[in-house]
Amino acid sequence: QVQLVESGGGLVRPGESLKLSCAASGRTYSTSVMGWFRQAPGKEREFVASINWNGGSTDYADSVKGRFSISRDNAKNTVSLQMNSLEPEDTAVYYCAARYTDYGGTYSHPHEYNYWGQGTQVTVSS
């Protein structure tokens, strides 16, 4: 059974940075596509970033391009999301997601992922 556990959320001020991490277990991590999504109260879950199996391909939502960076460490079975220049609009629960098929590319829709973490809260407020 695949398990994804996010960490690193918290309360920060606008303009500050935060790094989220997700630890995966239960399946060969290197043959996976990993993604980050977020969901604010009253809104649908939205795509943030995705990275293919070897880190050679990444994709970002327009709203975070240039501010967020996704990376992975296959030796440690982790994926990270470095978030810089945070804005109040980034406030949401952030979820880590994984898929273990067709892992050469990236994916931006929630239904394209099979496994999800429990989420970690990120709040950006002055």
Q: What is the DSSP string of the chain?
A: --EEEEE--EEE-TT--EEEEEEEESS-TTS-EEEEEEE-TTS--EEEEEE-TTSS-EEE-TTTTTTEEEEEETTTTEEEEEE-S--GGG-EEEEEEEE-SSTTS---SGGG-SEE---EEEEE--
Question: Residue 97: its pLDDT value, please?
Answer: 98
Question: Residue 64: its pLDDT value, please?
Answer: 98
Question: Residue 27: its pLDDT value, please?
Answer: 80
Question: Residue 44: its pLDDT value, please?
Answer: 97
Q: For each of the chain's 126 residues, which pLDDT tens digit applies? A: 899 999 999 999 999 999 999 999 988 777 899 999 999 999 999 999 999 999 999 999 999 999 999 999 999 999 999 999 999 999 999 999 999 988 889 999 999 999 999 999 999 999
Place of tokens 């990275």: 51
Question: Residue 1: its pLDDT value, please?
Answer: 86
Instruction: Provide the 8-state DSSP code for 31.
Output: S
Question: Residue 31: its pLDDT value, please?
Answer: 85
Question: Residue 72: its pLDDT value, please?
Answer: 96
